[in-house]
Amino acid sequence: MRLLFLLVLLSGYASSHSLTPTYPSLDLSYVPGVYKADLELFNARKDISYYEVNVFDADWNAITASIMPEKIMNVPYSTSKKITVYIPAALKGKAVYICTKSKTLYTPVTQVTVILSKICSKIK
């Protein structure tokens, strides 16, 4: 029974996206009173090409932030995109997580199941 469970567990394949660095730091930006974090998003999924970026506090409440190049971005399969997150100084102490979530903006009728992924980096 254990061998069967192990075979089932190892037979599947899952791919996702990645967000680096895992623990970004907030540095002063060129705008007074605004901090920034630089990250890189890599898409390892053939079925997804859009990702949304958000900033959360310790209780997973959304925090106001500006995302460059955009909040929802197109990242084609096997490519990466640099992201800069700008956070107001007043919210610097509250911001804990920067997360990316895969988005399905269009799902073909032939595709039955879509698995969404969410990757978070914890701010130092």
Classified by CATH at the fold level, domain 15-122 comes out as: Immunoglobulin-like (2.60.40)
* Number of neighbouring beta carbons within 10 Å of residue 122: 11
| C-alpha R_g of the chain | 17
Residues 6+ apart with CB under 8 A from 89: 33, 34, 35
Q: And the tokens for 6?
A: 């192990």
**How far, in Å, CA of 109 to CA of 99, rounded?**
29
**How far, in Å, CA of 98 to CA of 121, rounded?**
5
Compute the residue count for the chain: 124
Provide the residue-wise pLDDT of the chain in tens; the chain has 124 residues: 554 444 444 444 456 788 889 999 999 999 999 999 999 999 998 888 899 999 999 999 999 999 999 999 999 999 999 999 999 999 999 999 999 998 886 655 555 567 888 999 999 9
Q: Where are the domains of the chain?
A: 15-122
* Number of neighbouring beta carbons within 10 Å of residue 16: 16
SS3 content of the chain, % helix, strand, coil (to 5): 10, 40, 50
Q: And the tokens for 55?
A: 């900033």
Instruction: Give residue for tokens 């992201």.
Output: 83
pTM score, whole prediction: 0.80
